[in-house]
Structure 1
C-alpha cells in the first residue's frame, strides 16, 4: 500500500513542478497569449486533484504510524494545489475588462469582434469545465467501485476461510464418530469375553465341587 502512495506522490510532485513552470511562463504573456494556456493548466490541476484523491485512499488503508505521516503530507499537497488553482483562476479572469468595454457604449468593428470572440471563448471554457467535472465524477465513481470490489474480495476470503474451517470441523466430527464406534465395538467384545470367562470359571468350580462330592 505505501509503495502505491509513493508512486502517486512522485507523479504528483512531477505534475506540480510542471504546473509551477507553466504558471510562471503564462504569467509573462499578455492576455491573448495567455488565454490558450489556461485550459492546459486547468487540466493539470484536475490531474493533481485525482492524484491527491488516490493518495488519500491509499493513506487511509495504512496502519496508524504511516497513515498519520502520509495524511500530514497530503494536507500540505492540498494547500499547495489550492494556491495553484487560485493563481490559474486569476490568469483566466477577463470578465471585468469586458464589462468596462461594454459600458463604454462605442465600439469599433474590431472591438465588437473581440467581444464576440471573448464571449465564445468563455462558453468554450464553461463547456470544458463541465467536461472536467464529468471526468472528475467518473474518476471518483471508478475509485469507489474499486474500493467496493476490494471489500467484496476481502469478504469472500473471510467466507472461504470460514467454509474451510467448517469443513475441518466436519472432518474432525467424522473421525470422532469412527473412534467412538471402534471403542464401542471393543467394549462390547470385552463384555462378551468377560461373560465367557465367568461362565467358564463357574463351570470349572461346578466340576471341581461335583468331583469332591463323589470322592467323599
Structure 2
C-alpha cells in the first residue's frame, strides 16, 4: 500500500511543479496564449486535487499505529495545494485586469483600485478556506481517533472472551480430573478392604488347620 502512496506523491510533485511554472508565466503571455494557459492550469489543478483524494484514501487504509507520519505529509501537501490555488487566483486577477484595460483603454487607476479590492476579498476567502480546512482536518483526526478507540475496544473484548473460554475449559478439565481422582480413591479403598477380608480369612483358615491338627495328635 505504501508503494501506491509514494507513487501518488511523485505524480503530485511533478504536477505541482508544472502548475507553479505555468502560473508564473500567465501574466507575461499574450491574451490568446494566456486564455489557453489558464484553462490548462485549471485542468491540472483538478488533477492535483484528485491525486490528493487518492492519497487520502490510501492513508485511511494504513494501520493506526503507522498513520501519523502520513497524516503530516498529507497536511503539507494540502497546504501546498492551497498556496497554488491562491497564486492562481491572483494570477487570473492580474490577467483579467490587463485584458480589460486593453479592451477599454482604461488608464489603470480604477483598475488598480478594483484589483486591490479583489485581492483583499481573495485573501478573506483564503482565510475562510484555511479555517474550513483546519476544521475538516480536526474532524478527520477525531474520526481517526474514534476508529482507533473502537478497534482497541474490539481487541479488548476479544481478549476477554478468549479468557472466559479458557476459564470454562479449565473448570471443565478440573471437574473431570476431580471425578477421575475420586473414582481412583474409591477403587483403592475397596481394594484395601478386600485385602483385609482376605487376610482375615487366611488367618482363620490357618488357625482352624492348626486346631484340627492338634486335636488329632
TM-score bin (small chain): 0.5 to 0.7
Partner residue, 1:8: 5
Aligned partner of residue 26 in structure 2, secondary structure: coil
Separation (CA, whole Å) in 2 of partners of 1:56 and 1:123: 32
Separation (CA, whole Å) in 2 of partners of 1:113 and 1:78: 33
- 1:48 Cα shift? 5.3
User: What 5-or-longer segments of structure 2 have no aligned partner?
Assistant: 29-36, 95-107
Q: 1:80 to 1:117 in 2, by over 3 A?
A: closer
Partner residue, 2:181: 180
Partner residue, 1:65: none
Partner residue, 1:138: 139
Q: 1:24 aligns with which of 21, 34, 49?
A: 21
The answer to whether the 8 A contact 1:55-1:74 is kept is: yes
Separation (CA, whole Å) in 1 of partners of 2:111 and 2:21: 30
Alignment deviations for residues 105-154 of structure 1 (CA, whole Å, 9 cap, x no partner): xx944333332222222211111111111111122222222322333333
> Map of 1:100-111 to 2, 5 A cutoff?
108-111=109-112
TM-score by length of 1: 0.63
Aligned partner of residue 148 in structure 2, secondary structure: helix
The answer to whether the 8 A contact 1:56-1:74 is kept is: no
- 1:58 Cα shift? 4.2
Q: 1:72 to 1:5 in 2, by over 3 A?
A: same
Separation (CA, whole Å) in 2 of partners of 1:50 and 1:142: 18
Q: How many residues align?
A: 190
Separation (CA, whole Å) in 1 of partners of 2:192 and 2:211: 28
